Structure 1
Amino acid sequence: MARDSSGGRPTGSKPTGRRATVRVKTARGRTTSSQRWLQRQLNDPYVAEAKKRGYRSRAAFKLLQLDDQFRFLKPGARVVDLGAAPGGWTQVAVERVKAGAKAGKGVGVVVGIDITPVEPVAGATVLAKDFYDEDAPAELTALLGGPADVVLSDMAAAATGETQVDHLRIMGLAEAAHDFARQILKPGGTFVAKVLRGGTERTLLDLLKKDFTKVRHVKPEASRADSAEMYVVGTGFRG
């Protein structure tokens, strides 16, 4: 559902139009797995739609769909985006909270951070910094200019191929994001974080239930069906 004006381009959370299936021919030196990956990318409607709209990643649609469901990116909100690279979530946040618009009522603020440098996103400030650096939380807080309405975390560690190791790593990031959110969120605020199914996400859910009036475990449509990825959404921060 569209909620902002972007020069006439689509603003909903699902792909528009229909595309013909692209078949990838076998090429010398290309492995079977790489051919499957390429075939999936070329035929992924969210990849095509992201390019059409100028989003930096298909992941932008995950945030669009989460926000369409829970309505936390409101005009004028202050938002922190943890693990911002390549900038797709930051772009969506800027659009929906009206960050970077002329000063006045309903103008939001978006601040991001990632250890990987991010090309500038109009309307946002993104730090090229490790979130675990001792001074990172203070820098984010200063740039935000006040308590946050929303803390987003799409942080993920490099995959090792070991399911349990990867699960524990991403849960560690989600728990660190939760600790930060507890420090910076204003009462009534929202926390969104990526997790992986695997058992220990229940521990995080129990912690979130102490801090938020409602906690949901959600898999947006744009998240691939064969992925263990899900998102926890905590709304109504108790402060």
Structure 2
Amino acid sequence: MAILSCLGKMRIDILTLFPMMFYNVMNSSMMNIAQQKNIVDIRVTNIRNFTYDKHHKVDDRPCGGGPGMLMKPEPIFRAVESIWHPPDVKPLLILLSPQGEVFNQRLAKKLSEEKHLIMICGHYEGVDERVRLGLTPKEISLGDYVLTGGELPAMIITDAVTRLLPGALGCKDSTQLESFQNNMLEYPQYTKPEVWRGIKVPDILKSGHHEKICKWQLQQAKLRTRKRRPDLMEQNKKVEHDEPS
């Protein structure tokens, strides 16, 4: 059952055992505004609604032994098939898994160009392998650590993708100036008051000279990236080296 929905340009379906985890997150701040503006349609579906038995059993012990419990394939397949109806265009299926491609801004941008995402939140010791074999989802990980389930990654991915959709943020240039765009961290930013506890806003930002300010921002972004994330600078060098002359 969908607990969040609107008629939007992009649709994101999240399949989970814990739908109430999403309510406050998806109905707050930018994601709520994007739904109200019909930019995105976010729907959260309870996988337990697609079980066969009266106890709504969604997991079982691994065949051959092993620790923990695995999510059964039947409810996941049925949940996906309740959303996607062949021969309709197949949405991009995503399985949140520590074995997947590590999520970053480049991948967020790629996902934001899709029309329909279905994210499957694993839990317990993971999912039956037939989910991978039968549904062939794209697997995505947040990094080299283990979480209790895929719910938090699904929230993060939904936020990162939604804010890249046209019109989601107030200023069209907002996402272009953020960290990780063009493999650089964001430059330092200031607001009023001009002096706070002895720390002043740099004079260049009060000059009104747009070209000089842009050059300062670019220089500061490069300095900050070189100091804090030299790996990103190396990626930029590699891209420049690989580009045809």
Q: TM-score, normalised by structure 1?
A: 0.31
Larger Rg: 2
Q: TM-score, normalised by structure 2?
A: 0.30
Which protein, 1 or 2, shows the higher relative CO under an 8 Å CA cutoff with sep ≥ 6? Answer: 2
